[in-house]
């Protein structure tokens, strides 16, 4: 499973890149707004730091307007993925993007038929939001299992990008369910390698080694 960071914060992206295990970045209008910077400049900077896929979202709600944004965004860097909302106008724009060779990430997916439709329409990524389903008492992970099953039935190449991951167990479960990508906030990413027994074990190894030197 690939690891994407779900952030538009350059310090977090640089810290993740330094570790060498960040495969891509997802942003959304809320994450970009938090940074208070010019959108296109910020996205260009992110694309320079991370060579993998970088999702930048449109903010229009009609197909024509989305396509204007999509064409502009896709010219920022070769690794830009245009993020489109999974609404009828978004699917219309998706089909045009597919025909024009613009890579896409269909966002705000909350049920399997949305995922099936965007795969049929050539989406590069589909983004089911697990955490937000859990928030309203539904089983977010079941959606990943359903989408995996459907995509495997028909051999769709659209990558399942498990989004709205809130803690490391979401990442583990998404990997077990066969998600191609997990995107997570930096706070979750930082916890991926942690285990207290690793720290205790290393401390003991080094203390024993020190004794030998003495
Ligand atoms: O970027 C999309 C998604 O990961 C947002 O997550 O935590 O706002 O539901 P969240």
Per residue in 6-34, pLDDT (tens digit) is: 999 999 999 999 999 999 999 999 999 99
Residue nearest atom 8 in ligand 1 by C-alpha distance: 164
pLDDT of residue 210: 97
Nearest ligand 1 atom to the CA of 183 is 4
Residue nearest atom 6 in ligand 1 by C-alpha distance: 164
Q: Tell me how far apart the alpha carbons of residues 130 and 181 are, in angstroms, rounded to a whole number.
A: 13
Q: Is 4 within 8 Å of 182 (Cβ atoms)?
A: yes
Nearest ligand 1 atom to the CA of 166 is 7
42-63: pLDDT as tens digits: 999 999 999 999 999 999 999 9
> Active-site residue among 14, 83, 92, 190?
83
Q: Tell me how far apart the alpha carbons of residues 167 and 143 are, in angstroms, rounded to a whole number.
A: 17
Q: Please state which CATH number belongs to domain 2-213.
A: 3.20.20.70
CA dihedral 45, 28, 33, 24 (to 10 degrees): -30
Q: Tell me how far apart the alpha carbons of residues 22 and 158 are, in angstroms, rounded to a whole number.
A: 20
Distances (CA, A) of 72 to 10, 75, 135, 169: 22, 5, 35, 37
Burial classification of residue 18, based on how many CB atoms lie within 10 Å of its CB (0-12 exposed, 13-18 middle, 19 or more buried): exposed
Q: Tell me how far apart the alpha carbons of residues 53 and 47 are, in angstroms, rounded to a whole number.
A: 8
- Specify the residue for token string 């930096």: 186
Entry pTM: 0.96
Q: Is 152 within 8 Å of 116 (Cβ atoms)?
A: no
Residue nearest atom 9 in ligand 1 by C-alpha distance: 164
Q: Tens place of pLDDT for every residue, the chain, 214 residues? A: 999 999 999 999 999 999 999 999 999 999 999 999 999 999 999 999 999 999 999 999 999 999 999 999 999 999 999 999 999 999 999 999 999 999 999 999 999 999 999 999 999 999 999 999 999 999 999 999 999 999 999 999 999 999 999 999 999 999 999 999 999 999 999 999 999 999 999 999 999 999 999 8
Per-domain boundaries in the chain? 2-213
Nearest ligand 1 atom to the CA of 135 is 9
Say if ligand 1 is within 6 A of residue 27 CB. Answer: no
The distance from CA 106 to its chain's CA centroid, rounded to whole angstroms, is 11
Q: How many CA atoms are closer than 13 Å to the CA of 197, on its beta-carbon side?
A: 0
pLDDT of residue 91: 98
């Amino acid at each position: 499973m690939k690891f994407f960071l779900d952030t538009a914060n350059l310090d977090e992206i640089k810290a993740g890149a330094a570790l060498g295990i960040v495969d891509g970045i997802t942003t959304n209008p809320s994450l970009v707004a938090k940074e208070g910077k010019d959108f296109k400049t910020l996205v260009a900077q992110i694309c320079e730091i991370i060579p993998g896929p970088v999702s930048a979202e449109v903010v229009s709600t009609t197909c024509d307007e989305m396509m204007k944004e999509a064409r502009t965004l896709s010219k920022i860097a070769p690794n830009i993925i245009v993020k489109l909302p999974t609404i009828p106008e978004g699917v219309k724009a998706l089909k045009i993007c597919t025909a024009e060779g613009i890579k896409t990430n269909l966002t705000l997916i909350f049920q399997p038929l949305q995922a099936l439709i965007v795969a049929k329409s050539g989406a590069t990524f589909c983004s089911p939001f697990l955490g937000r389903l859990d928030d309203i008492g539904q089983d977010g992970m079941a959606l990943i299992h359903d989408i995996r099953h459907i995509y495997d039935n028909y051999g769709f190449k659209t990558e399942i990008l498990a989004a709205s991951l809130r803690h490391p167990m979401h990442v583990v479960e998404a990997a077990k369910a066969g998600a191609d990508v997990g995107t997570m906030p930096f706070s979750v990413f930082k916890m991926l390698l942690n285990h207290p027994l690793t720290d205790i074990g290393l401390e003991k190894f080094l203390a024993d080694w020190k004794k030998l030197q003495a």
